[in-house]
């Protein structure tokens, strides 16, 4: 599942975050890279324990909790605290796969990375290059979304960030451990949930709607890992 979710943040929230991040102290992005991905990673990152990262991350988590599409698509059990990266001219991140398990800094908690997420914070016309390229069964998908919008994709995906040739690319990124580990099952449940919502809005057959809703919840009950 490769899903674009628009307007996770409002324009005012994006502007406020961007202003704060522009004044922040950035580290070499290799600080959170694995042994292999560090060789391909050329960017900057806000320290995980930086007070600004924690403050902005909490606002993003609040926005996600209120976003019906994200909740339906991800069925989140745990969300890794959002991180922030910055790509300037000459920065890129070659093809890599995210680590399967991510320990949360300063805790004993770990997150299985069923889903990866990139929340774009820079207007796409403010920088050149910097597309997120996700390799899938039907080829490569290059994505560069409006500020405040987010891409959700399987954590198993091989992906890269194209070189930035002009301007600054700002984004938040994080991982989701889903109640449903399998991507195909998650996509099936999302399609079913969207159908239920449309039928509810259009006044579909009440008995059929009850049956379909029952199938959805029984599948969720059968597949969910708690």
Query: What pLDDT shows up at residue 64?
Result: 98
In this structure, the answer to whether residues 209 and 158 fall within a common structural domain is no
In this structure, the answer to whether residues 191 and 80 fall within a common structural domain is no
Residue 218, classified by CB atoms within 10 Å of its CB into exposed (0-12), middle (13-18) or buried (19+), is exposed
pLDDT in tens, the chain (226 residues): 899 999 999 999 999 999 999 999 999 987 666 666 667 889 999 999 999 999 999 999 999 999 999 999 999 999 999 999 999 999 999 999 999 999 998 899 999 999 999 999 999 999 999 999 999 877 899 999 999 999 999 999 999 999 999 999 999 999 999 999 999 999 999 999 999 999 999 888 899 999 999 999 999 999 999 8
Q: How many domains does the chain have?
A: 2
129 contacts 164 by C-beta, under 8 angstroms:
yes
In this structure, the answer to whether residues 124 and 51 fall within a common structural domain is yes
Q: What CATH number should be reported for the domain holding residue 130?
A: 2.60.120.620
Nearest-CA neighbor of 59 among 17, 26, 121, 3? Answer: 17
In this structure, the answer to whether residues 82 and 192 fall within a common structural domain is no
CA-CA distance, 160 to 207, in Å (whole number)? 47
Query: What pLDDT shows up at residue 87?
Result: 97
In this structure, the answer to whether residues 105 and 189 fall within a common structural domain is no
Query: What pLDDT shows up at residue 37?
Result: 67
In this structure, the answer to whether residues 51 and 109 fall within a common structural domain is yes
Nearest-CA neighbor of 178 among 120, 220, 135, 127? Answer: 220
In this structure, the answer to whether residues 100 and 164 fall within a common structural domain is yes
Residues 6+ apart with CB under 8 A from 26: 44, 45, 46, 86
In this structure, the answer to whether residues 80 and 170 fall within a common structural domain is yes
In this structure, the answer to whether residues 77 and 148 fall within a common structural domain is yes
Query: What pLDDT shows up at residue 29?
Result: 82
In this structure, the answer to whether residues 62 and 140 fall within a common structural domain is yes
Query: What pLDDT shows up at residue 32?
Result: 64
DSSP 66: T
Query: What pLDDT shows up at residue 184?
Result: 95
In this structure, the answer to whether residues 219 and 202 fall within a common structural domain is yes
Domain that holds residue 192: 183-223
R_g of the chain computed on alpha carbons: 18
Query: What pLDDT shows up at residue 34?
Result: 60
């Amino acid at each position: 599942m490769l899903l674009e979710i628009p307007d996770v943040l409002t324009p005012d929230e994006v502007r406020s975050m961007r202003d704060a991040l522009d004044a922040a102290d950035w580290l070499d992005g290799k600080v959170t890279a694995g042994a292999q991905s560090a060789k391909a990673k050329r960017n900057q990152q806000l320290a995980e324990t930086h007070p600004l990262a924690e403050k902005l991350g909490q606002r993003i988590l609040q926005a996600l909790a209120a976003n019906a599409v994200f909740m339906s698509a991800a069925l989140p059990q745990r969300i890794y605290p959002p991180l922030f990266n910055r790509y300037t001219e000459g920065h890129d991140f070659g093809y890599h796969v995210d680590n399967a398990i991510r320990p949360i800094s300063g805790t004993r908690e770990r997150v299985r990375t069923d889903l990866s997420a990139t929340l774009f914070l820079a207007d796409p016309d403010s920088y050149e290059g910097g597309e997120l390229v996700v390799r899938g069964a039907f080829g490569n998908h290059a994505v560069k979304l409006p500020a405040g919008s987010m891409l959700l994709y399987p954590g198993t995906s091989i992906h890269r960030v194209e070189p930035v040739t002009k301007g600054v690319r700002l984004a938040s990124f994080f991982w989701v451990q889903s109640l449903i580990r399998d991507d195909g099952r998650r996509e099936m449940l999302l399609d079913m949930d969207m159908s239920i919502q449309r039928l509810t809005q259009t006044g579909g057959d009440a008995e059929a709607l009850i049956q379909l809703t029952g199938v959805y919840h029984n599948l969720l009950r059968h597949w969910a890992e708690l």
